[in-house]
A and B are shown apart, each in its own frame.
Chain A
Amino acid sequence: AGEGSAPGPEDGAGPPAPQRVLFPPTFSVSEIKNKQRRHFMFLRWKQQQRKEKLALKKKRRKEREALGDKAPPKAVPKTIENQRVYDETTVDPNDEEVAFDEATDEFAPYFNRQTVPKILITTSDRPRGRTVRFCEQLATVIPNSHVYYRRGLALKRIIPQCIARDFTDLIVINEDRKIPNGLVLSHLPDGPTAHFRMSSVRLRKEIKRKGKEPTEHVPEVILNNFTTRLGHSIGRMFAALFPHDPQFIGRQVATFHNQRDYIFFRFHRYIFKSEKKVGIQELGPRFTLKLRSLQKGTFDSKFGEYEWIHKRREMDTSRRKFHL
């Protein structure tokens, strides 16, 4: 009932005919049978709503300014990150248990600088052009990595061979219809295996404003937003791919940024223009990963012990719940 009389007095010097019309109290736009007229009335109603909203905003702003210092603080808008369901496995930086776990898990030798990462990149059978090029570019990004093509060899059989030749990590890029769509990352001497779904892969030539090729320097690694226990272990997996001592001369940085369970990988070259400004230039491929499963041992789809699997019906129920 209020909608009819309220717009009337607030209208200032609007266009004459439409604005001065008052809607009768029991009127609703959806009751007009004629579509054209209904549409017209709806647009008019929308315009009025917008005007009201604008007027309200202005009023509020004036009030804020009038109050000056005593104004209440601005309301923080709600974002999905703000509203995220609290995950009880969030890692607290001071947690001793977590620290102890990390000191004794499979990545401990890497973090204690006892092992140097050596990585084998391979694909599923018969890789097509895009996948091959992507593998090559990935090999330039990750130092000390080698690409080998798999001509029909079973993964279970090449794993012991890799261990024998001192590889620390195995990356398998799965391909479907000529584009890479999956990634299996396995830490070799009996380490965890993570299976990801890979999407929006951009090769170097498709990146706009890219720089020159990545050089041989060891890049730095940035891991953002890995908060839960699961996220922490995945983050360590990624960190274990790169040698521990980055060469700052190279000014290259590889970023794994986790946002809402999607891990974005970017490779940049940075330059400090001043102490408060840094410029980054993207070089190297980019892709996004979404974790599908984490297995305790090396890659074994049938008999492996799964630490975490993404179960769609259970885990995708809430829009604000994330696991990484």
Chain B
Amino acid sequence: FLSFFSSTKTQNFCRNEYNLTGLCNRSSCPLANSQYATVREEKGRCYLYMKTIERAAFPRRLWERVLLSKNYEKALEEIDENLIYWPRFIRHKCKQRFTKITQYLIRIRKLTLKRQRKLVPLRRKIERRENRREEKALIAAQLDNAIEKELLERLKQDTYGDIYNFPIHAFDKALQQQEAESESESEREEEDDDDEGKREFVEAEDSELSDFEDMDKLETSSEEEQEEEEEVEKESSQSKSKGKRPLKGPARRKRPYIEIEYEEETEPGTKTKAA
């Protein structure tokens, strides 16, 4: 009877399908006992299997099967009435087994109602391939460059409006044309208007204008044109260098107006005047 025997470190088990307790003992071996009973379930219904000595000669009819009712208490009564006059051990163990079976059937039914987690097997080769491809795609993407390019594109296309102080294109155009032309002057003056709206240079503009007003009072009118031109060009050069030295702009202007304002063009002349 050891053909169904399997053992672990702590216990010995019987693998016979008709075994009542699952352990390999003399009392719970279906082969060793001529009168034996088990409860087994098939497709969610429980059956009571019985083996009696009268049918020992007919192996095909050896195990008699009785369907148990779905009602738990009624099924227990059925077990009792079928196994009347049977040893206590077998009756008790049958009822215990039946209880366990009904419990796990209930659990199965509850779980199938909930969402089951679908396990999708990973394929190692495919995982590796995809990881490799992802790395290569990342390298090919050059994300930082792409993002920077896109942002600069947007800046060029004026999506940011007036927030940033880099009005590039107009200034490039202005630089290309001759400075003496009226067109370029008008462009620059328009730019100056834009500049006046911007944060950084508002006070400088005011101080400059005020400076020039003061200077106007001091000097003759013939120099006013010169001053205007210089002012305009000063501003244009200022705005050109805005991107590079934004901080120096106001700082420069706060210095005494004697020196800096006219550095570009008529330096010798103005210096003598200032002095």
Binds B, one of A58-66, A67-75, A165-173, A252-260: A252-260
Given known A152-B114, A248-B163, A280-B147, contact A272–B155 (CB-CB < 8 A): yes
Query: Residues on B close to A: CB < 8 A?
Result: 114-115, 117, 126, 130-131, 133-134, 136-138, 140-141, 143-144, 146-148, 150-152, 154-155, 160-161, 163-164, 166, 168, 243-244
Which one, A264, A274, A276, A312, contacts B143 given CB within 8 A?
A264
Given known A154-B115, A274-B244, A312-B126, contact A259–B137 (CB-CB < 8 A): yes
Contacts of B136 in A (CB 8 A): 260
B133 and A272: CB pair below 8 A? no
Which one, A125, A222, A264, A268, contacts B141 given CB within 8 A?
A264
If A255-B146, A260-B140, A288-B138 are given as contacts, then 8 extra A-B residue pairs at C-beta distance below 8 Å, sorted by A number, are A81-B140, A199-B134, A255-B147, A259-B137, A259-B140, A264-B141, A274-B166, A278-B148
Tell me the interface secondary structure of chain A in the complex: strand
Q: How far is the CB of B136 from chain A (nearest CB, A)?
A: 8
Contacts of B147 in A (CB 8 A): 222, 253, 255, 257, 266, 268, 270, 280
Which one, B141, B160, B244, contacts A248 given CB within 8 A?
B160
Query: Residues on A close to B: CB < 8 A?
Result: 79-81, 125, 152, 154, 199-200, 220, 222, 224, 248-249, 253, 255, 257, 259-262, 264, 266, 268, 270, 272-276, 278, 280, 288, 290, 312
A248 CA to B168 CA, complexed, in Å: 19
Contacts of B164 in A (CB 8 A): 272
Of all chain B residues, the one with the shortest Cβ separation from A272 is B164
B134 and A200: CB pair below 8 A? yes
| 5 cross-chain CB contacts under 8 A | A79-B140, A80-B140, A248-B163, A273-B243, A274-B243
A272 CA to B141 CA, complexed, in Å: 22
Contacts of B138 in A (CB 8 A): 259, 262, 264, 288
A262 and B244: CB pair below 8 A? no
